[in-house]
């Protein structure tokens, strides 16, 4: 999976994928006013082509698209790029949100949305991507070791953005890696869903904790031998989650 570390200075490029021109125009205007470069795609096939060619820093992706739906686009892009993907949906059904997150989306926002809230989410996701993907390689092994976390059979290499269970490399999305890193930094300590939303997603979710549950479930599917009796990523019922200290 390719991390997006383009060297265009501090100016970020955002790909807008939506077939409704008025929405695209509003997004382009507001994003450019905030100092972002923008790319546009009006259908799913074009979105995949542009994303893989231009490697934007973040993607705003509508679910309802011609030629290829947004969930399929998300899945195809995620195979190659690990940039933040924010799903835009006019539908408020829980299933769409959960599907989007399970296919690798980092976040979602339901239309109609406030421009202020959308900009806050974009900034939060870009900031998290920079913190995770922008670490320079270390010159010495001693320095490099300071950017590694090991808890029991789980090890995280923060320089390589790599997680391992034993000797097996686990393929995680940016958000999944961030959640695992936050929990692994304090093994044995229960972290509430609300804290994870604030610290990992970077902003308040107004009680929408299902996002955390879906992300944790996805991580478990990748790191646990038996998700029904997890040994590493444990649920403290009614409170939150923690990484087993052994």
Residues 156 and 236 both lie in one domain: yes
Q: Is residue 7 part of a domain?
A: no
Domain end (from 80, 112, 133): 133
Q: Summarize the confidence of residues 86-98 as an average pLDDT.
A: 72
pLDDT band at 45 (very low <50, low <70, confident <90, very high): very high
DSSP codes of every residue in 95-147:
HHHHHHHHTT--EEEESS--HHHHHHHHHHHHHHHHHHH-PPPPSSHHHHHTT
Asked if 12 contacts 57 with a C-beta cutoff of 8 angstroms, the reply is: yes
Residues 145 and 194 both lie in one domain: yes
Q: Is residue 228 part of a domain?
A: yes
Residues 72 and 150 both lie in one domain: no
Residues 128 and 159 both lie in one domain: no
Residues 187 and 237 both lie in one domain: yes
Residue position matching structure tokens 């259908």: 43
Q: Is residue 88 part of a domain?
A: yes
Residues 124 and 156 both lie in one domain: no
Domain end (from 133, 164, 196): 133
Residue-number span of the structural domain to which 161 is assigned: 141-243
State the total domains in the chain.
2
Q: Is residue 8 part of a domain?
A: no
pLDDT band at 201 (very low <50, low <70, confident <90, very high): confident
pLDDT band at 177 (very low <50, low <70, confident <90, very high): confident
CATH code of residue 25 = 3.40.50.2300
Residues 33 and 120 both lie in one domain: yes
CATH code of residue 220 = 1.10.10.10
Q: Find the helix packing angle between 115-133 and 21-33, rounded to 10°.
A: 60
Q: Summarize the confidence of residues 129-152 as an average pLDDT.
A: 58
Q: Summarize the confidence of residues 49-69 as an average pLDDT.
A: 94
Q: Summarize the confidence of residues 90-107 as an average pLDDT.
A: 71
């Amino acid at each position: 999976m390719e991390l997006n570390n383009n060297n265009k200075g501090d100016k970020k490029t955002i790909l807008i994928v939506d077939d409704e021109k008025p929405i695209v125009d509003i997004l382009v205007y507001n994003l450019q006013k905030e100092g972002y470069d923008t790319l546009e795609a009006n259908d799913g096939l074009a979105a995949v082509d542009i994303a893989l060619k231009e490697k934007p820093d973040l993607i705003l992706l509508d679910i309802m698209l011609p030629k290829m739906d947004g969930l399929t686009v998300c899945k195809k892009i995620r195979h190659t790029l690990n940039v933040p993907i924010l799903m835009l949906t006019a539908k408020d059904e829980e299933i769409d949100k959960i599907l989007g997150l399970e296919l690798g989306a980092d976040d979602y926002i339901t239309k109609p949305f406030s421009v202020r809230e959308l900009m806050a989410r974009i900034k939060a996701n870009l900031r998290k991507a920079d913190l995770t993907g922008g670490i320079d390689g270390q010159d010495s092994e001693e320095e490099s070791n300071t950017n590694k976390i090991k808890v029991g059979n789980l090890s995280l290499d923060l320089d390589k953005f790599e997680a391992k269970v034993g000797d097996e490399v686990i393929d995680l999305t940016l958000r999944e890696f961030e959640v695992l890193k936050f929990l692994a930094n304090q093994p044995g300590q229960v972290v509430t869903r609300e804290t994870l939303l604030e610290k990992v997603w970077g902003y308040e979710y107004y009680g929408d904790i299902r996002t955390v549950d879906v992300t944790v479930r996805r991580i478990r599917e990748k790191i646990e031998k038996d998700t029904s009796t997890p040994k590493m990523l444990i649920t403290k019922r009614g409170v939150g989650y923690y990484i087993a200290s052994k």
